[in-house]
Structure 1
Amino acid sequence: MDKLRSIAVAVLVTIALFGAVSQAAAEEYYKGKTITIVVPHGPGGGADRVSRLLAEYLPKHLPGSPRVVLRYMLGGQSLVASNWFYNSAPKDGTVIMTGSGVVAVNSLVKTQGVEYDTRDFPVIMAFPVGVITYANGGKVPSATEFFDRSKDLIYGGNPMPWTNTIHFELAKEVLGFEVANSIHGYDTGTGRTAFLSGEIDMTVEGVAHYAGSIMPLAEKGEVTPLWQSGITGESGKLERLSMISDVPTVREFYVQQFGKEPEGETEKVLNIFEWYSAYIRTFNKPIYLPPGAEDILAHLDEGVASMMSDPDFQAASEKILLGAQIYTGESAKKVRADILANSEEAIPWLRNWLSSEYGVKINE
């Protein structure tokens, strides 16, 4: 018994010493250093908001308290930043990148000019961001009237292959409606302005932006919410976002309108749409290390875990996520791997659809 007790004490001492050594090693590694967060889009967007959040809170929790700064690298619909990060970023943990939906889409379908594959980026954490499709309440008083009125509506959104417009055009494929015109030329800010001015009649927007400026109009009946992307839940399936829990997913909207589940080719396209939504929305704002920097995760995980338990960080992140779950560490890697394991049919279909229907140039 004494021998077993001695072994147990020795193991506990070893674990404690290892933890202390690990803490000291992590602190020594980042002490006096600066971490640069590469942001592939301009100030004011979702990637910028997430990057600023990390710049504020990560130094408080990462051992060694490194300085964190942002570096905006714009151009080529995120290709300038993503290609540089893949090919040239230091692999010592001093440079990380905030991804985005279009960063992921470009990688998945290999649009012209892509030199990277996001599946090679070690993921530190991932911020899910859902989207909602809504219409002018004066022209579409209720969702049940949408199909009768859609041909008179003008959609406005981002250029292809930005994710909000892919979401809208895929929904058209599934639901089988037509609109008077689809304008693919707005950014998030100008698209919202165009909607509010009556220049366009419907659009797709991130839920955080919707909650801030559009939801009050919906409560007055001036805007009609139609459908949402959903977010991958603990069940592994798309679930409604809690902030807009009264708004159906595309599958639910289909069943509400037609009284049955889709079949045949429609079901196939819907499955692809749901796979796309699961991946792009769940990993909408991932935080990456460059390829080959996997060992650096050991220096970051403890700080990220500490940050996640910080009530101030939780409150600040909630304004962006609105109830969605942040994935970190092993859970982030597992969710990404699980979703990508079911991509065999979806990626070739999306490549062909974007190229043939919308002229998106694809690498051969």
Structure 2
Amino acid sequence: MTIRTLASTVAAAALVAATAASAEVDFSGETIEWVIPFSETGGSAKWANFFAPLLSEELPGNPTVVVKFMPGAGSTKGANWFQEQEHEDGTLMFGTSGSTQFPYLLGDPRVRYEYSDWVPVMASGTGGVAYLNAEDGKKFDGSANNLKDIDFIYGSQGATRLDLVPLLAWQMLGMNVEPVFGIKGRGDGRLMFERGEATIDYQTSSAYLGAAKDLVDAGTAVPMMTWGALDDDGNIVRDPTFPDIPTFKEVCEATEGCETSGEAWDAWKAFFIAGFPVQKIAFLPAGTPDDVRETYEAAFDAVRNRDDFAEIAAKRVGKYPVFVGEGAARATKEGTTVSADAKAFVTNWLQEAYGVSLN
């Protein structure tokens, strides 16, 4: 099943049930905490801050939805904390991203959370844009051929996080990119780039639209490539939010020595699919009763069906599908599954490239 097909899987009967449940649950006078396990400067922050007021308008009783941040250990700190939470009154949500999914997929020993214990109520896709500083950007011609002799610096949350996708892509292109590990969020990587401490960067779509695009408009950054999007047949095509920027697949095809087939490509594509088409997921804690879950599903369904949603989302989080109900559950499974071959390749690559052992 393709990601796009998932967007149409919510049955009409389920939505009727969710609407009925929402009439029985009332959050009047309540404050809902939406915990994000990253800093307030990154794409997850912008994603949650975009949806929070819209969710407030659609939940019964119009509660205040407050986004709170719990950065640390590339998001595993917050995810481990959420694993210990249980349902009390429906006023706690948690938001993950690919940087939370990847340590789980790779068996990172710091992971003490289990996605199947949580209750997904909304999932959405995103994209990503890699960009260069102005000086090096002048040498970019649609391929990485003129970039291979440059030593780049990149601010990274860690090689087992979502940064795995750009780091592997740049290596496949034959580029010399030295990561500086330990930043708390991709927004901190962008700040390093702005200060000249990093010379290459990437941001998810919401963060790129919210901040990095200003650098491009000012002439201090040059877009290099997106990771792309998936069509109905599972092929990588241009990102609908950035149709004028080539995909990594296109840049790879134009670059000497880069192959869009074989073990490296298959592994990169597998983790791209796990990390981006289903990139951000909103969860309720374990033990959440059906009426509360259905209330949230109905509210998020109302958000995505607003007459103005497509327009405002395109400007702030990009043009990507939003899944609710059964669609969110299936999307979550899609985003937390990779093949044994892809996992083995990446595990070996992490050891060889960065000395990262997950044993």
**Category of TM-score, reference length = shorter chain:** 0.7 to 0.9
Which secondary structure state, in structure 1, belongs to the residue aligned with residue 130 of structure 2?
strand
Instruction: Indicate the residue corresponding to 1:299 in structure 2.
Output: 295
Instruction: Indicate the residue corresponding to 1:280 in structure 2.
Output: 275
Please, which runs of 5 or more residues in structure 1 have no aligned partner? 1-14
Structure 1 segment 295-334 matched on structure 2, within 5 A: 295=290, 296-334=292-330
Between 1:34-43 and 1:342-351, the stretch displaced more is: 342-351
Instruction: Indicate the residue corresponding to 1:245 in structure 2.
Output: 243
Cα contact 1:36–1:95 (8 A) shared by 2: yes
Code of the residue aligned with 2:333 in structure 1: it is A
Q: Does 1:129 align with 2:126?
A: yes
Code of the residue aligned with 2:114 in structure 1: it is D
Residues 199-250 of structure 1, C-alpha deviation per residue, up to 9 Å, x if partnerless? Answer: 4322222234334554466568754332211233444443321232232222
Q: Summarize the Cα distance change of 1:237–1:326 in structure 2 as closer, same or farther, 3 Å threshold.
A: farther
Cα contact 1:40–1:74 (8 A) shared by 2: yes
Q: CA deviation at 1:82?
A: 0.8
Q: CA deviation at 1:116?
A: 0.7
Report the aligned-residue RMSD. Answer: 3.3
Instruction: Indicate the residue corresponding to 1:5 in structure 2.
Output: none
Cα contact 1:243–1:323 (8 A) shared by 2: yes
Which secondary structure state, in structure 2, belongs to the residue aligned with residue 161 of structure 1?
coil
Separation in 1, partners of 2:154, 2:127: 18
Instruction: Indicate the residue corresponding to 2:154 in structure 1.
Output: 156
Instruction: Indicate the residue corresponding to 1:95 in structure 2.
Output: 92
Code of the residue aligned with 2:227 in structure 1: it is S
Separation in 2, partners of 1:211, 1:66: 28
Q: CA deviation at 1:286?
A: 0.9
Q: TM-score normalized by structure 2? A: 0.81
Which secondary structure state, in structure 1, belongs to the residue aligned with residue 265 of structure 2?
helix
Q: Relative to total residues, which structure has the larger helix share, 1 or 2?
A: 1
Which secondary structure state, in structure 2, belongs to the residue aligned with residue 327 of structure 1?
strand
Cα contact 1:121–1:288 (8 A) shared by 2: yes
Q: Does 1:43 align with 2:35?
A: no
Separation in 2, partners of 1:182, 1:38: 28
Q: CA deviation at 1:56?
A: 0.9
Q: CA deviation at 1:170?
A: 0.6
Cα contact 2:127–2:229 (8 A) shared by 1: yes
Which secondary structure state, in structure 1, belongs to the residue aligned with residue 102 of structure 2?
helix
Q: Summarize the Cα distance change of 1:150–1:83 in structure 2 as closer, same or farther, 3 Å threshold.
A: same
Which protein is bigger by CA-based radius of gyration? 1
Q: CA deviation at 1:274?
A: 0.9
Q: Summarize the Cα distance change of 1:232–1:87 in structure 2 as closer, same or farther, 3 Å threshold.
A: farther
Q: CA deviation at 1:115?
A: 0.7
Q: Summarize the Cα distance change of 1:152–1:108 in structure 2 as closer, same or farther, 3 Å threshold.
A: same
Residues 108-163 of structure 1, C-alpha deviation per residue, up to 9 Å, x if partnerless? Answer: 11323211122443321122221112223423423356323332232312131364
Cα contact 1:35–1:68 (8 A) shared by 2: yes
Instruction: Indicate the residue corresponding to 2:8 in structure 1.
Output: none
Q: TM-score normalized by structure 1? A: 0.80
Q: CA deviation at 1:315?
A: 3.9
Separation in 1, partners of 2:135, 2:47: 34
Separation in 2, partners of 1:93, 1:56: 17
Cα contact 1:91–1:289 (8 A) shared by 2: no
Cα contact 2:119–2:285 (8 A) shared by 1: yes
Q: CA deviation at 1:37?
A: 1.4
Q: Does 1:69 align with 2:63?
A: no
Which secondary structure state, in structure 2, belongs to the residue aligned with residue 30 of structure 1?
coil
Which secondary structure state, in structure 2, belongs to the residue aligned with residue 282 of structure 1?
coil
Q: Summarize the Cα distance change of 1:114–1:199 in structure 2 as closer, same or farther, 3 Å threshold.
A: closer
Q: Decide which of 336, 340, 354 is 1:358's aligned counterpart.
A: 354
Separation in 2, partners of 1:219, 1:134: 12
Separation in 1, partners of 2:164, 2:18: 44
Separation in 1, partners of 2:197, 2:18: 58
Q: Summarize the Cα distance change of 1:152–1:342 in structure 2 as closer, same or farther, 3 Å threshold.
A: closer
Code of the residue aligned with 1:293 in structure 2: it is T
Residues 151-189 of structure 1, C-alpha deviation per residue, up to 9 Å, x if partnerless? Answer: 22323121313645312221134223334x443355534
Separation in 1, partners of 2:258, 2:197: 35
Instruction: Indicate the residue corresponding to 2:266 in structure 1.
Output: 271
Q: Summarize the Cα distance change of 1:269–1:294 in structure 2 as closer, same or farther, 3 Å threshold.
A: farther
Q: Decide which of 76, 82, 87 is 1:85's aligned counterpart.
A: 82
Which secondary structure state, in structure 1, belongs to the residue aligned with residue 148 of structure 2?
helix
Q: Percent identity of the aligned residues?
A: 24
